[in-house]
Structure 1
Amino acid sequence: MDPSVVSVLGLLLCISCLLLILVWKKGLGKGKLPPGPIPLPIIGNLLQLNLKNISESLCVLAKEYGPVFSLQLGLERVVVLHGYKAIKEALIDQGDNFSNRASMPIFEFVNNGLGVGVSNGERWKQLRRLSLMTLRNLGMGKRSIEERIQEEAKFLVEELKKTKGLPCDPTFILRSAPCNVICSVVFQKHFEYKDQKFLHLMKLIDSESRIVNSPWIQEKQHPQSEFTIDELIWTVNVLFHAGTESTSTTLRFGLLILLKHPEIIEKIHEEIERVIGRSRSPCMEDRNKMPYTNAVVHEIQRYIDLVPTDVPHAVSQDTQFRQYLIPKGTTIMPLLTSVLNDDEEFPNPHQFDPGHFLDESGNFKKSDYFMPFSTGKRMCLGEGLARMELFLFFTTILQNFTLKPLIDPKEIDTNPVANRLNKIPPPYKLCFLPF
């Protein structure tokens, strides 16, 4: 063999051994980590993951190693939590220890690690407190924000009427409506859907979404304050990104699922006719009188499993968890998909069934396993806004239109076309036929 090749191979072997020693030393004296597959030099356990469907790979590993197991991703240690009990014990029962956000290079690249979504420690506490207070002051959870969503729902209906019942891709319109709700909160203004500034904003949000979903991942005179202009900008950016993409993707996925189940659309139409009629706009008070529609909206969120692995957490200190000792800074990956698809709580979880949220009498049934917004101290800031939007937008659309698919409902494919950080529905067209 060529001596130069031997030298290169020897060098690679030495580097691999050094990396293994570094990994071993990082865990030395730190207690006992959960079990997991044996990692390879340099790449760790990456070959055991399908990067196109990471959550499915992790669920397979959980069957072998249990609800709490370890992975090595390069030099990064990751502890995976599978199932309701493990996630509740960590994110709720030991919420303070598991409330840090893991270091993620992709977000460092996108926003320099700024904003409430990726901050930690005192910075995160101050920014979250400010964000919650500001959202409440702007009407979150109050009548004023509901009225803004109702007003936007009317604009949404008018845009859908412009399609004149012809086949259309609903993506742009369904992204514009929730984005405009955030605009009304931040800028106190509604934009026309073809406004150039609005279109530029949508383009920026879309660009960031594509980066994040790539294969991997106010007060200068007070230096101790976290309320800087940069932090404000990136915190508002989080509101736009999460408030637009999550809601619009859920709406798009939801309409596709309804197209596949015309019998469900018919039942919703009946409930709308009985409770609301056609002379007034839907309101949040209607939700308690519409258990079936409420169950359908919840089942859409459960079934699409939008963020299967949650955004990674990290432990803020050496943490005793069950029989393990997890070192400070270890990345924690809660598998929300394992909760939303729990087959004891939701029989036949891979089947779309509003009955998962209805009792024997047809009343709406809450579930602690409903975690599309995560849980614990890092739970989504905009949960209340998203719940309002989804109910009011879905109900308003179905109050004004019947949905017509372009193919036989049985042939409609609802499987996502991408499954990385977020699941993305396949492209499709439909007809909105006014009543």
Structure 2
Amino acid sequence: MSTLYRNGWIVTMDDAESEHENGWILVDGSTIASVGSGMEPDADERVDLNGAVVTPGLINTHHHLYQTLTRARAQQADLFTWLRELYPVWSRIDADAEYAAARTGIAELALSGCTTVFDHHYVFPRGREGLIEAEVQAAREIGLRIVASRGSMDLGVSDGGLPPDELVEDLDAVLAETERLAAAIHEPGHGARVQLAVAPCSPFSVTGRLMEESATLARRLDLPLHTHLAETLEEEAYCLELHGCRPVEYLDRLGWLADDVWCAHCIHLSESDISRFASTGTGVAHCPTSNLRLGAGAAPVREMVNAGVRVGLGVDGSASNERSDLFFEVKQALLVCRGRGGGAAITAREAIRLGTRGGAAVLCRDDIGSLEPGKCADFAVWRTDVLELGGADDLVAGIVFAGPFRPDRLVVGGETVVSDGHLVKADETEIAKAHRVEARKFSG
């Protein structure tokens, strides 16, 4: 079955930065067959875009879906204070709560133009099973691609770490469960809908041995690696005190700077840190809203991109952002970058690239992130006949500067998952109602 999406402003994000102002996309099954303008190819079905802007689907490179259950807590806290307040609350999570939380977060992401979500889940209370499976189920039901992760914490407060002892796990159990999940859910290759990453939480919640053993396991299983890094000055002081070096140096010692690794935040990087990331191929998930919310700072995105570092965008957890809106992060990334470097520091199209092509590179995916023949048919359609874009000649820049917006249509692997601004495969009202029931268990 082929479908021609016609009469749109197609922003391909290919190497040549091609755009087709009166263009079309031909989709054959789950794959893009061709993109262009002018004479239109034959197709079984034709969809008129009515002049809408079409971008590749946004790609979220860092999230904690379970945190939708605990929004607007620790409202004036820094990272460490915020974590200490919330760790005991999160220790109540089970598979039912995780499912409700994930459905909510993934639905929000879909309604922001996101087609692929990476989730960093590292809270595994003793005796609770099926947490990763629950979020995979939620993604499948709504229709998004998911890169789940088996996170971990094994450095409790009694051993100098930050998390409470009841939330840390045994190293061997973590590795065994990671290997089990890889066999159960990970799909390799082009068009994968569900994948797995190996993701110890952070330098202040994980031992060096678990970091090293996780890397060995991930590389044996051909899985990517992820962790938090250089998010706050407190983290830097912690690493200096405990390990005698700064966070990036610590990761380097552990063999973690490589092209199969990406790190969340990376706010407090030196020039040499950035150079080391670039030379090793290490990627970065930039989470501007969460960084501002916690007062952590603003990452040196322009400097990283100029140096050749892979950089994508993440919404981070909904307890430090309150929204799972990746389109808002595109705009926020632009504003934060300009706040650091001035009005010419980044263009609107560069911000879109961070959220699309950049995210694909960070997740080590070459089948998504741009609109080109042979790639997955993942794209978002943004209406341009709205009040907020009146007077905008450059509609591509307009959707960034005037955003965020809901997409009119979202297509994942050729399947429509958002139509007329609403979910196709799930009911937003029902998701919100079920989520409120679970979230009440975490109040007080």
TM exceeds 0.5? no
Greater CA radius of gyration, 1 or 2? 1
Larger strand share, 1 or 2: 2
